[in-house]
Amino acid sequence: MQDSVSGQIADATAGKAMSNESLRLGQYWPPSTLYVVATPIGNLGDMSPRAITVLSAVDLIAAEDTRHSSSLCQYFSITTPMLACHEYNEAQAADQLIERLAKGQSVALISDAGTPLISDPGYAIVRRIREQGYRVSPVPGACALTSALSAAGLPTDRFSFEGFLPAKAGQREKRLRGLSQQTGSLIFYEAPHRIVASLTAMVDAFGPDREAVLARELTKRYETITDGSLASLLAEVTADKNQQRGEMVIIINGLAVTEAQRSEQELAADQVLMTLLSELPVKQATGLAVKLTGLKKNYLYNRAIDLVKDTS
């Protein structure tokens, strides 16, 4: 094995073993670099040639689960030594990686699947290593959230990745309620044993008609990407135990802009009504609110009655 990536590149440029796309594209491989390397999320065909090159050439691979990653490395004939780096020892692992970087070596970080740091360990390591002034370089590849979004047919111009929802029902509902007015697409990771509970909570928070997609087992044999209203997805998943298996991503369409605007207008109308109701009876407050907001009399009258009830 080479002493460092730069050593291997030197060999390669001297016409030895390695010929790969990255070299032809002229990538610069400085020493003392942490490479953050994406690995497949199910289909080994998604391992990039550059990921194989980097993992073969670095001096050490920090892996979330060394046993799991050993099979991947074996498959691609990568023999680089590994260091366990999971959420409970990140600080300690960072120290060991920094020691290597200080000697001019290069190291790589991988997780069990997909892109490290995306609902996976690595954040503390990347932050520490950058703080120490070392170079951190991504080797991009598979990621469940971008894979799901790319095939879902829901808006991609604005989206927010929400990761895993809290396991406790109350916290989960609160988080979802807080997201119900967002207009960009919302992306969640979910565990199979919680999918029915989460979809049920989503129907409550976003309404049964909100458009959504459930992307399961992406890149694998039983991949399914199902779209429909939240209520229809919940019905389908509840009725079919197979849909409750495997790895899954849920994407929910954002609140339609017109609906969001309406909500804002309604909130503003509530403010106006509350001010007027503190001084006037319902009928008069409604009459003035019609003039001030331009909203329909019936709507404002019913809203005024509700507000009076809420405050009494």
Contact present, 44 and 23 (Cβ < 8 Å): no
The edge-to-edge listing of strands for the beta sheet with 82-84 is 82-84, 60-63, 107-110, 33-37, 135-139
SS3 267: helix
C-beta of 5 vs 201, nearer to ligand SAM: 201
Q: Minimal CB distance to ligand SAM: which residue?
A: 114
Closest CA to 220 of 247, 197, 200: 247
Closest distance between ligand SAM and the C-beta of residue 219, in Å?
6
C-beta of 194 vs 299, nearer to ligand SAM: 194
Closest distance between ligand SAM and the C-beta of residue 137, in Å?
17
Strand-pair category, 185-190 with 135-139: unpaired
Closest distance between ligand SAM and the C-beta of residue 142, in Å?
6
Q: How far is CA 98 from CA 1, 80, 83, 111, in A?
A: 20, 17, 13, 19
C-beta of 93 vs 187, nearer to ligand SAM: 187
C-beta of 243 vs 286, nearer to ligand SAM: 243
Closest distance between ligand SAM and the C-beta of residue 244, in Å?
13
Q: What is the DSSP letter of 14?
A: T
Closest distance between ligand SAM and the C-beta of residue 154, in Å?
15
Closest distance between ligand SAM and the C-beta of residue 58, in Å?
20
C-beta of 29 vs 188, nearer to ligand SAM: 188
Strand-pair category, 211-216 with 185-190: unpaired
Residues that bind ligand SAM in the complex, under the rule CB under 6 A = 41-42, 111, 113-115, 118-120, 143-145, 189-191, 215-220, 247-249
d(CA 3, CA 10): 11
C-beta of 220 vs 297, nearer to ligand SAM: 220
Strands (E), 143-202: 159-164, 185-190
The edge-to-edge listing of strands for the beta sheet with 185-190 is 159-164, 185-190, 248-252, 211-216, 224-229
Strand-pair category, 60-63 with 107-110: parallel
Closest distance between ligand SAM and the C-beta of residue 87, in Å?
10
C-beta of 24 vs 67, nearer to ligand SAM: 67
